[in-house]
């Protein structure tokens, strides 16, 4: 299954020379937030309105090395959470995405 992670270009660049990636939330919450494909646009519009450019990682679930759990996010549904660093060989595409002129996201 294809999963996604949203990250700022600046944070992603910190891991350029690394075989793994750790989001800021890994240390704070103990996991990396992922989205299923059908959840990406809503996640962008919930947390990233007004940010002009982001990176959308396309991740192959079967290649993940850390534990993946699907957990409830209350009224927002069930989301995949990675409990550990993301091995970058599971990232099959790094896509630069840009918000619309009104700051919202339409994919």
Sheet of 67-72, strands arranged across: 32-33, 78-83, 67-72
Q: For 6-26, how does the pLDDT look when each residue is reduced to its tens digit (9 = 90+)?
A: 999 999 999 999 999 999 999
Q: How many CB atoms lie within 10 A of CB 64?
A: 18
The CATH code that applies to domain 2-98 is 3.20.170.20
Give the predicted TM-score (pTM) of the model: 0.94
Q: For 44-98, how does the pLDDT look when each residue is reduced to its tens digit (9 = 90+)?
A: 999 999 999 999 999 999 999 999 999 998 888 899 999 999 999 999 999 999 9
Domain ranges, ordered by start, for the chain: 2-98
């Amino acid at each position: 299954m294809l999963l996604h992670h949203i990250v700022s270009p600046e944070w992603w660049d910190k891991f350029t020379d690394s075989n793994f990636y750790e989001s800021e939330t890994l240390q704070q919450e103990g996991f990396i937030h992922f989205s299923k494909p059908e959840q990406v646009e809503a996640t962008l519009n919930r947390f990233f309105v007004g940010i002009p450019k982001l990176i959308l990682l396309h991740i192959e679930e079967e290649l993940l090395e850390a534990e993946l759990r699907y957990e409830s996010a209350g009224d927002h549904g069930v989301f995949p959470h990675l409990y550990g660093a993301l091995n970058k060989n599971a990232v099959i595409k790094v896509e630069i995405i840009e918000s619309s002129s009104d700051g919202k996201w339409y994919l």
